[in-house]
Structure 1
Amino acid sequence: IILLLAAISIPNLLRARLNANETAAITALHTIAIACESYRVDQASPAYPATLNALSSATPPYIDPTLGGGTKQGYTFSYTGSTNTYSCTAGPQTPGVTGNRTLFLNETGVIRLNDSSGTPIE
């Protein structure tokens, strides 16, 4: 009976953790989108930040230092920015364990699956 319960409950717990990580990654991308727009309008010459670290090392910071370091709750965030554009990809640190979906965000503010041509998730 114990083995049967474990066989049923462990996969459900792992799936719940994976879903929580993906939800946290989506929330983090929303945070990055808002932070990038705030950063841009706060500059003397409007420009997006060149790095995530620029958002977390500002005074006051636009995002928390963990996210500014490029990792959060099982996801790795890869960011590039220039004057008029930015893109950020969030991928699971361990696919199938910490998450399944790769997420993409750019200056449009729309979070998509995989890349700029992917399906919007919202």
Structure 2
Amino acid sequence: MIMAYDQQNFMRTDCPLDKDLLGYQTWGLLHTMAAYYPDHPTPHQQRDMYNFFMLLAQFYPCATCARDFANLLRVRPPVTSSRRELGQWLCWIHNTVNRKLGKPIFDCALIDERWKDGWEDGSCDI
């Protein structure tokens, strides 16, 4: 059997994701998807992205997380009219979850630097 390890943290990387790691990686995927969403999406793209989030709430592999996400979607459905609107909506959703979990709130003005362009200081250009 071959075991894979994260060299910095000495953690196995070939095991099922726990709830925290699943959440962290899911947020990264969702924010990156929003960052690369079109500025002027077609009606078909808008509908597909909306449906994606609705389906995610049904199939997310953490039952409590999925239920909480579905409740948030009822309160504030996905806004898919543009890249900016989707990014701001998702940042609101993420910050709502962070508040519930007692985690820091992210400045939604920084979503492009965090998930698309990289920080202005060039620290992502390694």
Higher relative CO (Cα under 8 Å, sequence separation at least 6) belongs to: 2
TM-score by length of 2: 0.37
TM-score by length of 1: 0.38
- Give the structure with the higher percent strand: 1
